[in-house]
Amino acid sequence: MVDVPESHPRYESLLTRHRIEDGVEKGITSQQGLIAQGRGEAFDYLLGEETIPSADDAARAAAAHLLLADHAVLSVNGNVAALVPGETVDLAAATGADIEVNLFNRTEARMQAIADHLRERGAEEVKGLTADGRIPGLDHERAKVDADGIGAADVVVVPLEDGDRAEALADAGKTEIVVDLNPLSRSAQSAAVPIIDNIIRAVPNVTAHARELRDADEDRLQAIVDGFDADETRAAAERAIREGTLQRSD
């Protein structure tokens, strides 16, 4: 990992890039993940590289959904494992959610490497290796899920762009929480809760809201869920991207 000084004006961006590079070297992240990271970074730049108010509202709604869920699952791909492995484990602990690895470029070696990577950061159980279930309507490797994991979940967190699987999970009747920097992506458009934010900010933010709401009664959590407007959240993010005033950043 390259040592990037915190004083560098692009510190967070460079750190994120190096985490993805390190993930590729470790066999956790696919090379295509580098392209996905660059695409997301462009949207984050347009959002001012900050969590806008609508994204914070979405993170709070996501926390309420996870706390209300009968069976929540956090889906992890290679970029998630590289960028927020410990943060994902923290979110699972705060909400009682399961963690499941799900990959498009799936190999047993990558699946095992990501599971081990998460266990090294405190995960007690990582699902996805059994792959005894399928998501209806998908023909590729991402259709493979654990029957007692994503297959049985009522709420699924689907971070980063993954449009066809997001649509298939929604068609299967699952409540989807999506983290995606593009408000016009199929993932964000199909989500019950689209969090239009950088994952390195979004996951810790959902965890913070979950901890704050941990003792809330069901009526309060349901009121947060019912008061959330996914369409307005997507529209607010699009306005911020199209109309925001950019500050120069080298």
Report the run of H or E that residue 145 belongs to, with start and end: strand 144-145
Q: What is the pLDDT of residue 249?
A: 47
Indicate whether 30 pLDDT > 60.
yes
∠ CA 162-168-173, rounded to 5°: 125
Percent of the chain with pLDDT over 90: 68
What crossing angle do the helices spanning 108-119 and 85-95 adopt, rounded to 10°? 70
C-alpha torsion angle, residues 63, 68, 71, 73 (rounded to 10): -10
Is 8 contained in some domain? Answer: no
Closest residue by Cα to residue 88 from 51, 128, 122 = 122
| pTM score, whole prediction | 0.89
Using an 8 Å Cβ cutoff, are 159 and 82 in contact?
A: no
Q: Is residue 42 part of a domain?
A: no
Radius of gyration of the chain (CA): 17
> Average pLDDT of 69-86?
95
Laid out side by side, the sheet with 193-195 consists of: 98-101, 72-76, 155-159, 175-179, 193-195
Question: Is 6 inside any structural domain?
Answer: no
In whole angstroms, give the CA distance from residue 240 to residue 225.
Answer: 23
Cα–Cα distances (Å) from 83 to 33, 38, 102, 232, in that order, read: 11, 13, 15, 28
- Say if 7 falls within a structural domain: no
**CATH classification of the domain holding 107:** 3.40.50.12640
d(CA 19, CA 80): 10
Domain that holds residue 174: 53-243
Helix axis angle, 11-25 relative to 32-46, nearest 10°? 170
How many domains does one find in the chain? 1
Q: Is residue 227 part of a domain?
A: yes
pLDDT of residue 38: 61
In the prediction, which pLDDT does 248 show? 46
pLDDT tens per residue, range 86-102: 999 999 999 999 999 99
Instruction: Tell whether 67 is covered by a domain.
Output: yes
**Domain annotation covers residue 249:** no
Could you please report the per-residue DSSP string of 156-215?
EEEES--HHHHHHHHHTT-EEEEE-S-TTSHHHHH-SEEE-S-HHHHHHHHHHHHHHTTT
Is 123 part of a structural domain of the chain? yes
Q: Which residues, 6 or more positions from 53, have their beta carbon under 8 angstroms from its beta carbon?
A: 236
> Once rounded to an integer, what is the mean pLDDT over residues 235-243?
94
Residue 4 binned pLDDT confidence (cut-offs 50, 70, 90): low
**pLDDT 10s digits, 158-180:** 987 678 888 999 999 999 999 99
Nearest to 114 by CA among 75, 66, 72, 163: 75
Q: Is the pLDDT of residue 107 over 60?
A: yes
